[in-house]
């Protein structure tokens, strides 16, 4: 450690660069834990990148305070690498801190850095949900297009949850409740099948859903008469849309 100290003193900006990097990595780890199914996609969102930069700058600021005011942080702070690591990880603490909690109706609003960071996290959540929902809808629609909801509502979730060894009892209970509520809705069979697929894919993924549908296909598929009725319904909808476009033009 004593040999490393002069190196950091010579390149005085290098400690801040390392602290910035550690801060960004800690923010990246948090985002990856929030978006487990598509951790790489989060980097395409502007708000996610801003959140990473904020983490990095908070770490730089923490290192500056520690160095400038010679803050005593115990034996860890006796060496430059120790101060860098501590400052880098401190961004997680800084961005979760709040000075006060303001009560507004039934909600409590944090006043402090936690409120600022939450703005960017909420924005990233919305962007992620929008893109994921759109892609999931396309995939699920293709997977369940020939599936009869009445036949699949019990066997399909049961098979998927059995294959997923790490699902909790609570998650299984929630899915069971959602499927039961879906069964009560006064909507067409095709829409119910899509919603059933979306509910299952939220816990598993579309690949497992497809494998389960393929396995159970013979026992949960629509009859030829039902498939023809759905096809006619889609054709009718397309004709209506074409007529609307003509009237607009």
Same domain, 116 and 157: no
**pLDDT beneath 50: ranges in the chain:** 1-2, 7, 240, 247, 249
How far, rounded to the nearest angstrom, does the alpha carbon of residue 157 sit from its chain's CA centroid? 22
- List the structure tokens of 80: 């430059």
Same domain, 78 and 150: no
What local confidence, expressed as pLDDT, does residue 212 receive? 92
Same domain, 189 and 238: yes
What local confidence, expressed as pLDDT, does residue 2 receive? 47
Whether 140 maps to a domain, the answer reads: no
- Rounded distance between C-alpha atoms, residue 73 and residue 71, angstroms: 6
pLDDT digits (tens, 9 = 90+) for 195-209: 899 888 878 878 888
Q: Helices 206-220 and 189-203: crossing angle, nearest 10°?
A: 140
Domain count, the chain: 2
How many CB atoms sit inside 10 A of residue 35's CB?
18
Whether 131 maps to a domain, the answer reads: no
Same domain, 84 and 173: no
Whether 32 maps to a domain, the answer reads: yes
Ranges assigned E (strand) in the chain:
100-104, 107-111
What local confidence, expressed as pLDDT, does residue 101 receive? 58
Residue 153 φ then ψ, to 5°: -60, -25
CA-to-CA separations, 201 to 44, 179, 209, in angstroms, rounded? 22, 13, 7
What local confidence, expressed as pLDDT, does residue 232 receive? 63
Whether 127 maps to a domain, the answer reads: no
Same domain, 158 and 73: no
Same domain, 89 and 172: no
- Rounded distance between C-alpha atoms, residue 239 and residue 249, angstroms: 15
Same domain, 68 and 167: no
The domain of 68 spans 4-96+110-120
How many CB atoms sit inside 10 A of residue 68's CB?
8
- Rounded distance between C-alpha atoms, residue 172 and residue 125, angstroms: 24
Whether 134 maps to a domain, the answer reads: no
Whether 104 maps to a domain, the answer reads: no
Same domain, 154 and 242: yes
pTM higher than 0.85: no
- Rounded distance between C-alpha atoms, residue 94 and residue 115, angstroms: 11
Contact residues for 56 (Cβ-Cβ < 8 A; gap 6+): 19, 20, 21, 23, 24, 27, 91
Same domain, 158 and 86: no
Same domain, 27 and 78: yes
Whether 179 maps to a domain, the answer reads: yes
Same domain, 182 and 226: yes
What local confidence, expressed as pLDDT, does residue 110 receive? 59
Whether 126 maps to a domain, the answer reads: no
């Amino acid at each position: 450690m004593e040999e490393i100290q002069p190196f950091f003193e010579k390149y005085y900006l290098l400690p801040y660069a390392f602290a910035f990097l550690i801060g960004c990595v800690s923010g990246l780890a948090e985002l990856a834990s929030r978006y487990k199914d598509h951790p790489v996609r989060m980097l395409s969102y502007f708000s996610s990148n801003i959140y990473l930069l904020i983490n990095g700058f908070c770490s730089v600021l923490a290192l500056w305070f520690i160095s400038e005011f010679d803050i005593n942080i115990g034996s860890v702070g006796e060496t430059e690498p120790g101060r860098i690591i501590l400052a880098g990880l401190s961004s997680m603490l800084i961005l979760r801190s709040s000075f006060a909690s303001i009560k507004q109706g039934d909600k409590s609003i944090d006043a402090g850095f936690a409120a600022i960071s939450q703005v960017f996290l909420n924005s990233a959540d919305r962007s992620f949900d929008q893109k994921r929902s759109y892609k999931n809808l396309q995939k699920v629609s293709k997977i369940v297009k020939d599936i009869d909801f009445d036949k699949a509502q019990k066997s399909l979730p049961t098979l998927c949850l059995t294959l997923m060894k790490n699902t909790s009892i609570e998650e299984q209970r929630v899915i069971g409740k959602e499927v039961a509520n879906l069964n009560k809705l006064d909507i067409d069979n095709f829409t119910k099948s899509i919603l059933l697929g979306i509910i299952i894919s939220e816990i598993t993924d579309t690949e497992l859903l497809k494998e389960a549908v393929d396995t159970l296909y013979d026992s949960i598929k629509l009859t030829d008469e039902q498939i023809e009725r759905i096809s006619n319904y889609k054709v009718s909808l397309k004709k209506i849309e074409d007529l609307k476009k003509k009237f607009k033009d």
